[in-house]
Homo-oligomer: A and B are copies of this chain.
């Protein structure tokens, strides 16, 4: 019996199921505990109970652990915008889809995102990479609005409005103690924008 237990334990240690998830968890823990710059790939692999070789089957480097999957977000934005009813104007589209988008990409990961956010904010290179990532999402939005027939100026401003509402909602969701759903924060930010825009006196053409 004792022998079977030992074999089972060894098998567990070599088991590579959900290797990506385990590497992500290990990396986030180490980045939080000792800093991003101080953490090495062999340390991450060891903490996850995997080999360095396995790490490199999933990620090109330790930085990509924090940005993994982000490459797919612009294409997701493009698809969502292409499939929305043609009759929806830019703001109606934002109202209709932003909450769903936010929930799909970020929902249910609040704790992990909070930890990740702290790691990214503590490193200048990571902060700049994060800004670049946001820029690719914004570019997908601009392209999507242009494909829906908006001119470049309106497309750019609508994309910025969507990013502003999403950014404010995410900040409040991550900062909140309670468990208000992210979609509620999106709607709250949309209302704040609406109230704001009703107050200003804009110049006549």
Contacts and interface: CB of A to CB of B under 8 A. Distances in A.
Interface of A: 89-92, 94-95, 124, 127-129, 131-132, 134-135, 153-154, 156-158, 160-161, 163-165, 167-168, 171-172, 187-197, 199-203, 205
Nearest to A159: B164
Contacts of A131: 128, 131-132, 134-135
15 contacts: A95-B200, A95-B201, A128-B128, A128-B129, A131-B131, A131-B132, A153-B189, A156-B164, A160-B160, A160-B163, A160-B164, A187-B203, A190-B202, A194-B197, A197-B197
Contact of A91 (B153, B164, B199): B199
Nearest to A201: B92
Given A131-B132, A164-B160, A192 B154 contact: yes
B164 A161 contact: yes
A163 B138 CA distance: 13
A188 B128 CA distance: 30
A154 B196 contact: yes
Interface majority SS (helix, strand, loop, mixed), chain A: helix
Contacts of A201: 91-92, 95
Contacts of A194: 197, 200, 202
Contact of A132 (B127, B163, B189): B127
Given A161-B197, A194-B200, 13 more contacts: A89-B196, A91-B202, A92-B200, A95-B200, A128-B131, A131-B131, A156-B164, A157-B165, A157-B192, A157-B196, A161-B193, A191-B205, A193-B197
Given A131-B132, A132-B128, A153 B188 contact: yes
B189 A157 contact: yes
**Residue among A158, A189, A192 facing the most chain B CB atoms (10 A cut-off):** A192
